[in-house]
């Protein structure tokens, strides 16, 4: 029997084949592969991580060594550079070499002073040369020098040295025609020649006459002064000095005719030039002198101020050894002998005249030295002396200071930054001399002047056999709670041991560096020395003296003995206290290779991370496997369920559709189909359902709209006829307004004319008033005339007032009428709105009807014709309504404009009214005044003036009124025109409304026809 | 003191008035080259009554036998023997024919100053054109500026017949000295002890005034009288010192111009002082500038008085002193030159006295000059100091320089009685003889020439 497969069963079978079998097959395959891959990977990763942990330890120790090793090497270098410092030998260099600099400085000072003296002396010489030239010039221009043969002068000649006086009669001394006269006064009298020379050159000059054959020279004219200020004439230079030695000046003059050098003039030494004076026969009859005082304050001051650093000074002695210039004023005149030993004194005095190198003389005690040079022009010995003891002391201190600077520089350059903290590599630097005395100590950046530690001198012995470039290294020592390593090396100078330099390396710093790495929780890096003693450990101090070779360290002690201390690099594992441990070790290549770096730690701690990772991976693996199996089952169930519902969802709607199709085919539109499906099938059901629904709705709406249209068209006809009647009324009213405004315009023109007249009258009054002042006799009659005129004006004014009152009222009426008009226009607007809505709706219905008709096929053809007609009608009625609306809008605008203009007009009219009231009151005032003028003729003149003024005012006012009136007249004309325009517009609107009325009636007919056509359709159950 | 001086002078005048001839009664018509009473230069042609002075016969007219121009001038009167010797013993006997100076010298140096008197020879002679000019001058020459200047004069003496002391001294000032001359002479100023240094002086002169065809100086362009240049050649200490003088006829318009050069200064400077009593070049103060040639320069400081003519024993025709056979040491004895070589003759001289004016200064208060009748050369002079004492005595020793001819002193001696010293100048015994034939022009006498001649710059 053939199996009958429904659509439903087919669909269930398909879902089983496609959903369940693939899932079971692929799931099994996946589980198998995943299991193998995971296990393999976990074991590989574990091994690699273990290797990485070891590498990490090794690189840690390497980085430690890289930090520590340079520090130690640098310490060694620093020690070496300190030991080789050029400053240290300076401390021991001999006295001579220390003093050398001072000697050369002293020499330079002496040289400088000699140079200064020479310059000063040369300047004096230049001046003297000028003086000599000047004197000779004066002599020669005066004429021959000769002695009178018949005239004599009595002279009281005083020996300038002994003050012995001789009286002599000497022939008069002539120069040319001039006689040299005795002149004592310096200020009041001019002494020939000598004062000429002084005036021209500023140099002292004297004239001497030879007293006798011995050559004694008498000063007969001079400007060298005595102590009392007078000229030093009548004093003479004796040929023989008081000590019976010949006077060098006289000797030189007699022999050579000149003298150059230092001479005594009256009582003071001068740098002088003498020149003999001869008569024509060539016999010396006298001499003249040119000189400058030898005392040179500036030069003396310069010498006095010359200092040899702080330990010496310059001075000058004469050839006898007496101080000529000395910084200490009191010493001047004393002998140098009192300040030095006799031998040295003699040597200084007897030193040769000219030497290339200035000699240095040192006394026996080696406490004093002299640098001396002769300055022969002044018979001086210029000396510079210095205190050697002080020099040596000063120089030593200077060198010591240099050494200290160098130590400080070394100390400062030993800074290393560890963990962001600046640490000094050197904790102490010392220099100890050969006797074991500490020369200088730099401790933690501070110099300690003297340390009383006797231990150091023992060190010297340890270094005696040491070569220059070798050094000693102590073990790690605990010093003042600080761990240090002491490096020391000998210092040789001239091949003899001069001392040692000691450098303490800051070992605490090494500990700080080692602390930077911790492996696991108890794995540390530490350093041991060759004895296996732990010298640096984060937890163990040197003072604890722990030795790694001790049995308490278990197998580590053996490893240390066999491998570490023998300088190997490597790693080992060992078991201690039931735990596996790891050790890594390497020697430090510095400080004579006596330190080794070691890391120990528990293997578990090192491998903690790999172990943890392995465990985590295995747990993860199991979880994943479980998840895969569960999801396989779930998928199988799900695919079965989906298959069932899927087949159902396709089958049910298809059955419903078949049933519905049967009903529609019978022409019953009252049933509908419902579907929640959103697939193509659902869309198909919905579309068919929607189609039947649309038919049903369209037919129902056409029926109801037709009946509504009928009602609306009746309303429209009624409204249009109302509108027409309103417009008729409005047209009538506007023609009334036109008429009234025309009347008002005429009235205003009249007012204007009258006002012009009044103006003319006022002008006439003005003229009359003016003529009144000329001719008083005609005043009275004129005033009477004026009074009459004024009465007339009064009447006109009153009339005018009434007119304006009337126009005001009219304008108010016009306003009200216009308001009504505006309201009516607005009403028309609302009617138009209704028409517009109606036509819109009609149009909509027509469009819907035509759609429905087209969808109904041939059955809808007739209906389509009707709907088109309705559509065109709706369009026409819409157009008509728009036309009406635009006209009504125009009317509304014009009306509102008219209202505005009428409002303006009424305002102007009110103004006119108030102005005419004012005129009326003024005229009344005028009449009163005129009456008063008539009754009081004596006040005419005075009143006439007042009147003239008032009339002027009146004239101005009436002018203003006249202008206002004419402008009102123009305004009134404008109003009239506007109202006429309004009237025309309203009659046009009226015609249009009539047309609307007709269209509404037509619409009514069409709607009747439509109702009949749609009544055949059934839309409700 | 001054009054006393004047009194003394007056006394001397009165004392000596007897010895003087009366004021000349002659006019210029009496002047003539031949056969006139007066010689062209205004001297009496005739001799004296005692015949001790012969008449003037034209002087030396012919060159001595064997003499060539440029030679030393020979002694023409070899045969003459001294007539007598005036000494301290007998001077009073001749006192009226001795000058006051001569007497003072005899008195001061009684042992050595002895005057050998020889027969008189009026040897003065000049070229003919000089005589003609002199006669011409006598009619034209005129003193101007109160005697300080002269105009309308040419070649030689302006006033052959002088009317006053000024005219007489002007005759001396511009007597004919030839146009150009060059003399290298020696001067010495022996000390009291007779020691001396020889100073050699080169003197050159150019006198345009003496030119033969020189027009009379009636305008200022021709005011120049002459140019004189002195340069000391030895001793070394003062060698190279030079003095240049421009002398003018009218010294009021053009005062004397003088320039000095000294080797020490090596500059030429104007020396307004080189006049009056300014010490004479290399004179040791024993003479003044205006003592040169016994008197020269401006006359304005003195009042002049002509006393008239007088016959006196005076050095004249001193050819022996001129001789090159003498050495300076023979001549230069103590106190005065060796009198053995000085020839004294009796000659008529004009005596002119000069008294220092009030308010003027000069070391000589009073001077007396003795001007040779035949040549107008001043032969002797005496100078008095402000005490009125005779102080200095100057003597000129004339010879005729045949080659021109003209009269000029072969030695001027200035005695300083106070100092008991003397200054002998113009000695040329050991030098070349003075050269009057040399020709100079103005170019040789500019300050530049002074520099060139002294070797300076």
Mutate: best of A280, A285, A286, partner B, most B CBs <10 A = A280
Is residue A674 scored above 90 in pLDDT?
Answer: no
Higher pLDDT, A202 or A781: A202
pLDDT at B70: 85
Cα–Cα distance, A678 to A690 (Å, whole number): 15
User: What mean pLDDT is predicted for residues A467-496?
Assistant: 79
- Report residue B218's pLDDT band, with 50, 70 and 90 as the boundaries: low
CA distance A719 to A715: 6
Chain B positions in Cβ-Cβ contact with residue A140 (cut-off 8 Å): 260, 262, 264-265, 269
Give the largest Cα separation in chain B, rounded.
61
Q: How far apart are CA A692 and CA B326, in angstroms?
A: 194
Q: What is the per-residue pLDDT across A411-424, written as a single tens digit (0 to 9) for each?
A: 888 888 877 888 88
* Res A848 pLDDT > 50: yes
Interface check A375 vs B, CB under 8 A: no
Say yes or no to pLDDT of A937 above 60: no
The distance of B423 to chain A (nearest Cα, Å) reads 10
How far, in Å, CA of B380 to CA of B367, rounded? 10
What is the Cα gyration radius of chain A?
74
In sequence order, what are the beta bridge partners of B397? Answer: B411
pLDDT bin (cut points 50, 70, 90) of residue A781 is low
**Tokens 């123009």, residue?**
A970
Residue B5: predicted pLDDT: 46
The reported pLDDT for the residue numbered B392 is 95
The pLDDT assigned to A905 comes to: 65
Three-state DSSP class for residue A529: strand
| Stronger pLDDT, A240 or A466, i.e. the higher one | A240
User: Which of A22-26, B290-294, B323-327 is the least confident region?
Assistant: A22-26
- Nearest CB among B262, B389, B391 relative to A140 is that of B262
- List residues in chain B touching A: CB distance below 8 A: 188-189, 191, 196-197, 199, 235, 237-238, 260, 262, 264-265, 269, 271, 273-274, 276-286, 385, 389, 391, 416, 418-419, 421
The predicted model gives B410-420 an average pLDDT of 93
Q: Which two tokens stand for residue A697?
A: 């709705």
- 8 Å CB contact of B197 and A137: no
Domain-wise residue ranges, chain B = 2-454
Q: B104, B263, B279: best mutation site toward chain A, by most A Cβ within 10 Å?
A: B279
If one compares A813 and A686, the residue with the highest pLDDT of the two is A686
CB contact under 8 A, A150 and B276: no
Q: Do B264 and A136 touch (CB under 8 A)?
A: yes
Q: Is A142 on the interface with B (CB under 8 A)?
A: yes
From chain B, the residues in CB contact with A279 under 8 A are: 284-285
Q: Which residue has the higher pLDDT, B38 or A361?
A: B38
Contact (CB<8Å) A149/B278 = no
Token pair belonging to B139: 């009619």
Q: Cβ of B279 and A143 within 8 Å? A: yes
Is the confidence at residue A95, as pLDDT, over 70? Answer: no
Average the pLDDT over B396-407 and give the result: 92
Q: Look at residue A508 in the predicted model and tell me its pLDDT.
A: 83
pLDDT at A481: 78
CB A282 to CB B271 under 8 A? no
Burial class (CB in 10 A: 0-12, 13-18, 19+), B406: buried
pLDDT above 80 for A328:
yes
Q: What's the number of CA atoms in the CB half-sphere (13 Å) around residue A558?
A: 7
A961: pLDDT confidence band, cut at 50, 70 and 90?
Answer: low
In degrees and rounded to multiples of 5, residue B111 shows phi and psi of: -80, -30
- Number of neighbouring beta carbons within 10 Å of residue A760: 12
In the predicted structure, residue A284 carries a pLDDT above the cut 80: yes
What average pLDDT does chain A have? 78
- Tell me the two tokens of residue A709: 């249209």
Distance (Å) from the alpha carbon of A146 to chain B's nearest alpha carbon:
5
Distance of residue A234 Cα from the nearest chain B Cα, in angstroms? 24
Position B11 pLDDT exceeds 50: no
Determine the pLDDT at residue A532.
Answer: 85
Q: Give the lowest-confidence range in A98-107, A912-921, B346-355, B433-442.
A: A912-921
Least confident of A366-380, A984-998, B294-308: A984-998
Question: Nearest residue on chain A to B237, judged by CA atoms?
Answer: A282
**Whole-angstrom Cα distance, residue A585 to residue B371?**
148
Higher pLDDT, A808 or A655: A655
Q: Which helix (H) or strand (E) holds A441?
A: strand A438-443
Residue B16: predicted pLDDT: 43
pLDDT at A667 over 90: no
Q: What per-residue confidence (pLDDT) applies to B64? A: 84
A931 pLDDT band (50/70/90 cuts)? Answer: low
Closest CA to A959 of A766, A734, A708, A798: A766
Give the Cα-Cα-Cα angle B237, B242, B247 (nearest 5 degrees).
Answer: 155
Q: Which residues of B233-269 are buried (b: 16+ CB within 10 A; e: fewer)?
A: bebebbbbbbbbbbbbbbbeebbbbbbbbbbbbeebe
Q: In the prediction, which pLDDT does A457 show?
A: 66
**In the structure encoding, which two tokens stand for residue A161, read together?**
């040295």
CA–CA distance, B253 with A230 (Å, rounded to integer) = 46
Whether A280 sits inside 8 A of B284 (CB atoms) is: yes
Q: For position A331, what pLDDT does the model report? A: 84
Residue length, chain A?
Answer: 1021
Closest partner residue to B285 (CB to CB) among A140, A142, A174 is: A174
Least confident segment among A354-363, A553-562, B318-327? A354-363
Instruction: Determine whether B167 is exposed, middle or buried from the number of CB atoms within 10 Å of its CB (0-12, 13-18, 19+).
Output: buried
Quick check: A891 pLDDT over 70?
A: no
* Confidence at residue A620, expressed as pLDDT on a 0 to 100 scale: 86
User: Who wins on pLDDT, A545 or A126?
Assistant: A126
Please tell me which of A216-225, A626-635, B446-455 the model is most confident about, judged by mean pLDDT: A216-225
Q: Is the pLDDT of residue A783 over 60?
A: no
Choice among A41-45, A610-614, A662-666, A748-752 with the minimum mean pLDDT: A748-752
What was the pLDDT predicted at B97? 93
What's the pLDDT score for residue B13? 45
* pLDDT tens-digit series, residues A234-255: 999 999 999 999 999 999 999 9
How would DSSP label each residue in A243-254?
TSPBPHHHHHHH
> How far A180 CA sits from the closest chain B CA (Å)?
14
Higher model confidence: residue A934 or residue B326?
Answer: B326
B197–A149: do the CB atoms touch at under 8 Å? no
Dist. CA A640–CA A629, nearest whole Å: 18
pLDDT tens column, A428-437: 888 887 777 7
Hey, are the CB atoms on A149 and B273 less than 8 Å from each other?
no
pLDDT attached to residue A827:
67
- Beta-sheet pairing, A235-237 with A145-159: parallel
Q: What average pLDDT score do residues B197-225 get?
A: 81
Q: pLDDT tens digits for A512-559?
A: 887 777 777 777 888 888 888 888 887 777 778 888 888 888 888 888
- A578-619 pLDDT, tens digit each: 888 888 888 888 777 788 888 888 887 777 777 888 888 888
Task: Return the higher-pLDDT residue of B91 and B269.
Answer: B91
Highest mean pLDDT among A462-476, A517-531, A603-617, B177-191: B177-191
CB contact under 8 A, A150 and B391: yes
Distance from CA of A159 to the nearest CA of B (A): 28
Look at residue A762 in the predicted model and tell me its pLDDT: 63
Between CA B428 and CA A385 the distance in angstroms is 71
Task: From chain B, pick out residues whose CB is under 8 angstroms from the CB of A174.
Answer: 279, 285
Q: What is the mean pLDDT of residues A900-928?
A: 69
Class of domain B2-454: mainly beta
In angstroms, what separates the C-alpha of B338 from chain A's closest C-alpha? 20
Cβ pair B376, B253 in contact under 8 A: no
Instruction: List all residues of chain A from 157 to 186 with a beta carbon under 8 Å from chain B.
Output: 174, 176-177
| pLDDT at A768 exceeding the cut of 60 | no
Cβ atoms B350, B309 nearer than 8 A:
yes
């Amino acid at each position: 029997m053939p199996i009958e497969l429904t659509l439903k069963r087919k669909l269930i079978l398909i879902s089983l084949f496609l959903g369940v079998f693939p899932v079971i097959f692929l799931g099994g395959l996946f589980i198998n592969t995943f299991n193998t891959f995971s296990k393999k990977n976990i074991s590989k990763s574990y091994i690699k991580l273990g290797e990485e942990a070891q590498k990490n330890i090794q690189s840690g120790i390497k980085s430690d060594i890289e930090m520590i090793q340079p520090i130690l090497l640098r310490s060694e270098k620093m020690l070496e550079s300190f030991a080789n410092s050029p400053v240290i030998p300076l401390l021991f260099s001999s006295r001579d070499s220390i003093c050398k600099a001072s000697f050369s400085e002293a020499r330079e000072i002496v040289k400088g002073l000699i140079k200064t003296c020479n310059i000063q002396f040369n300047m004096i010489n230049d001046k003297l040369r000028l003086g000599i030239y000047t004197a000779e010039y004066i002599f020669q221009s005066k004429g021959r020098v000769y002695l009178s043969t018949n005239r004599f002068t009595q002279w009281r000649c005083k020996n300038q040295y002994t003050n012995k006086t001789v009286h002599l009669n000497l022939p008069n001394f002539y120069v040319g025609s001039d006689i040299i006269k005795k002149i004592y006064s310096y200020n009041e009298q001019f002494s020939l020649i000598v004062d000429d020379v002084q005036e021209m050159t500023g140099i002292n000059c004297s004239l001497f006459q030879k007293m006798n054959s011995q050559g004694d020279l008498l000063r007969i004219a001079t400007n060298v002064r005595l102590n009392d200020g007078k000229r030093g004439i009548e004093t003479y230079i004796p040929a023989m000095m008081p000590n019976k030695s010949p006077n060098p000046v006289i000797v030189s003059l007699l022999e050579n005719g000149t003298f150059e050098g230092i001479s005594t003039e009256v009582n003071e030494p001068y740098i002088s030039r003498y020149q003999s004076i001869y008569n024509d026969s060539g016999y010396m009859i006298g001499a003249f002198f040119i000189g400058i005082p030898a005392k040179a304050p500036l030069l003396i001051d310069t010498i006095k101020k010359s200092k040899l650093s702080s330990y010496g000074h310059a001075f000058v002695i004469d050839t006898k050894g007496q101080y000529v210039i000395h910084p200490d004023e009191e010493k001047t005149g004393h002998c140098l002998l009192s300040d030095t030993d006799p031998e040295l004194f003699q040597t200084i005095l007897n030193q040769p005249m000219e030497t290339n190198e200035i000699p240095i003389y040192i006394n026996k005690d080696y406490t004093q030295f002299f640098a001396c040079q002769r300055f022969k022009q002044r018979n001086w010995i210029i000396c510079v002396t210095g205190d050697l003891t002080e020099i040596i002391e000063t120089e030593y201190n200077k060198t010591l200071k240099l050494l200290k600077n160098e130590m400080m520089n070394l100390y400062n350059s030993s800074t290393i930054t560890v963990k962001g903290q600046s640490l000094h590599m050197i904790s102490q630097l010392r220099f100890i001399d050969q006797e074991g005395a500490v020369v200088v100590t730099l401790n933690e950046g501070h110099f300690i002047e003297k340390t009383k530690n006797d231990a150091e001198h023992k060190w010297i012995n340890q270094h005696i056999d040491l070569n220059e470039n070798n050094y000693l290294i102590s073990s790690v020592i605990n010093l003042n709670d600080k761990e240090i390593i002491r490096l020391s090396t000998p210092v040789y100078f001239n091949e003899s041991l001069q001392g040692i330099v000691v450098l303490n390396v800051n070992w605490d710093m090494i500990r700080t560096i080692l602390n930077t790495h911790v492996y696991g929780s108890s794995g540390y890096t530490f350093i041991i020395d060759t004895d296996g003693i732990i010298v640096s450990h984060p937890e163990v101090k040197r003072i604890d003296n722990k030795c790694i070779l001790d049995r308490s360290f278990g197998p580590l002690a053996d490893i240390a003995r066999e491998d570490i201390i023998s300088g190997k690099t490597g790693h080992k594992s060992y078991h201690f206290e039931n735990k596996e441990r790891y050790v890594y070790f390497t020697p430090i290549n510095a400080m004579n290779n006596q330190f080794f770096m070691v890391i120990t730690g528990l293997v578990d701690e090192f491998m903690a991370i790999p172990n943890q990772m392995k465990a985590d991976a295995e747990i993860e693996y199991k979880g994943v496997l479980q998840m895969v199996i569960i999801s396989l089952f779930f998928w199988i169930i799900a695919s079965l369920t989906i298959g069932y519902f899927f087949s159902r969802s396709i089958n049910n709607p298809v059955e419903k559709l078949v049933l519905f199709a049967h009903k529609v085919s019978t022409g019953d539109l009252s049933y509908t189909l419902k579907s929640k499906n959103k697939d193509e099938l659902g869309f198909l059901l919905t579309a068919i359902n929607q189609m039947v629904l649309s038919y049903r709705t369209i037919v129902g709406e056409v029926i109801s709209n037709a009946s509504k249209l009928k009602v609306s068209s009746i309303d429209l006809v009624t409204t249009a006829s109302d509108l027409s009647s309103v417009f008729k009324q409005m047209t009538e009213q506007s023609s009334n307004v036109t008429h009234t405004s025309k009347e008002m315009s005429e009235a205003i023109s009249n007012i204007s004319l009258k006002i012009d007249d009044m103006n003319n009258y006022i002008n006439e009054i003005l003229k009359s008033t003016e003529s009144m002042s000329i001719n008083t006799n005609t005043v009275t009659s004129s005033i009477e005339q004026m009074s009459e005129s004024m009465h007339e004006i009064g009447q006109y004014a009153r009339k005018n007032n009434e007119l304006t009152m009337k126009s005001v009222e009219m304008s108010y009426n016009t306003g009200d009428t216009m308001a009504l008009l505006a309201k009516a226009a607005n009403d028309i607007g609302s009617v138009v709105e209704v028409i517009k809505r109606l036509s819109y709706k009609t149009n909509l219905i027509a469009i819907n009807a035509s759609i429905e008709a087209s969808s109904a096929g041939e059955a809808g053809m007739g209906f389509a014709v009707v709907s088109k007609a309705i559509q065109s009608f709706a369009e026409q009625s819409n157009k008509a309504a728009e036309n009406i609306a635009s006209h009504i809008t125009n009317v509304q605008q014009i009306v509102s404009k008219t209202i505005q203009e009428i409002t303006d007009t009424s305002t102007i009219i009110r103004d006119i009214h108030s102005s005419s009231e004012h005129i009326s009151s003024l005229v009344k005032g005028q009449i009163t005044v005129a009456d008063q003028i008539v009754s009081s003729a004596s006040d005419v003149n005075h009143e006439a003036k007042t009147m003239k003024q008032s009339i002027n005012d009146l004239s101005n006012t009436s002018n203003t009124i006249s202008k206002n009136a004419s402008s009102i007249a123009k305004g009134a004309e404008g109003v009239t025109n506007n109202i006429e325009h309004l009237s025309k517009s309203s009659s046009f609107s009226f015609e249009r409304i009539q047309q609307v009325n007709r269209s509404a009636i037509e619409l009514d007919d069409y709607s009747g026809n439509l109702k009949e056509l749609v009544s055949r359709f059934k839309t409700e159950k | 003191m001054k009054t006393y001086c004047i009194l003394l002078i007056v006394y001397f005048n009165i004392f000596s008035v007897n010895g003087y001839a009366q004021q000349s009664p002659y006019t210029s018509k009496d002047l003539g080259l031949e056969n006139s009473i007066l010689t062209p230069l205004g001297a009496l042609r005739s001799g004296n009554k005692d015949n001790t002075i012969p008449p003037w016969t034209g002087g030396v007219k012919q060159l001595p036998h064997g003499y060539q121009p440029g030679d030393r001038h020979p002694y023409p009167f070899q045969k003459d023997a001294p007539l007598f010797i005036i000494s301290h013993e007998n001077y009073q006997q001749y006192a009226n024919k001795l000058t006051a100076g001569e007497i003072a010298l005899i008195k001061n140096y009684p042992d050595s100053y002895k005057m050998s008197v020889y027969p008189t020879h009026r040897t003065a002679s000049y070229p003919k054109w000089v005589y003609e000019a002199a006669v011409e001058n006598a009619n034209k020459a005129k003193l101007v500026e109160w005697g300080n200047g002269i105009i309308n004069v040419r070649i030689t003496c302006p006033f052959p017949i002088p009317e006053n002391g000024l005219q007489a001294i002007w005759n001396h000032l511009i007597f004919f000295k030839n146009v150009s001359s060059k003399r290298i002479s020696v001067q010495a100023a022996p000390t009291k002890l007779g020691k001396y240094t020889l100073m050699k002086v080169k003197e050159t002169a150019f006198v345009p005034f003496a030119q033969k065809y020189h027009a009379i100086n009636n305008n200022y362009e021709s005011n120049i009288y002459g140019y004189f240049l002195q340069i000391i050649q030895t001793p070394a200490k003062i060698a190279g010192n030079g003095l240049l003088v421009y002398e003018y006829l009218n010294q009021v318009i053009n005062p004397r111009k003088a320039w000095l050069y000294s080797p020490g200064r090596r500059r030429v400077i104007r020396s307004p002082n080189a006049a009056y009593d300014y010490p004479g070049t290399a004179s040791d103060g024993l003479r003044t500038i205006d003592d040169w040639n016994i008197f020269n320069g401006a006359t304005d400081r003195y009042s002049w008085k002509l006393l008239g003519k007088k016959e006196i024993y005076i050095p004249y025709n001193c050819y022996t002193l001129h001789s090159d056979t003498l050495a300076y040491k023979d001549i230069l004895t103590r106190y005065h030159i060796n009198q053995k070589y000085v020839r004294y003759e009796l000659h008529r001289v004009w005596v002119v006295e000069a008294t220092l004016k009030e308010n003027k200064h000069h070391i000589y208060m009073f001077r007396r000059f003795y001007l040779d009748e035949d040549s107008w050369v001043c032969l002797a002079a005496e100078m008095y100091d402000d005490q009125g004492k005779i102080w200095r005595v100057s003597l000129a020793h004339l010879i005729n320089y045949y080659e021109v001819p003209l009269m000029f002193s072969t030695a001027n001696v200035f005695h300083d009685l106070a100092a008991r010293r003397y200054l002998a100048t113009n000695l040329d015994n050991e030098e070349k003889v003075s050269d009057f034939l040399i020709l100079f022009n103005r170019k040789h006498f500019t300050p530049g020439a002074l520099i060139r001649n002294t070797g300076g710059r």
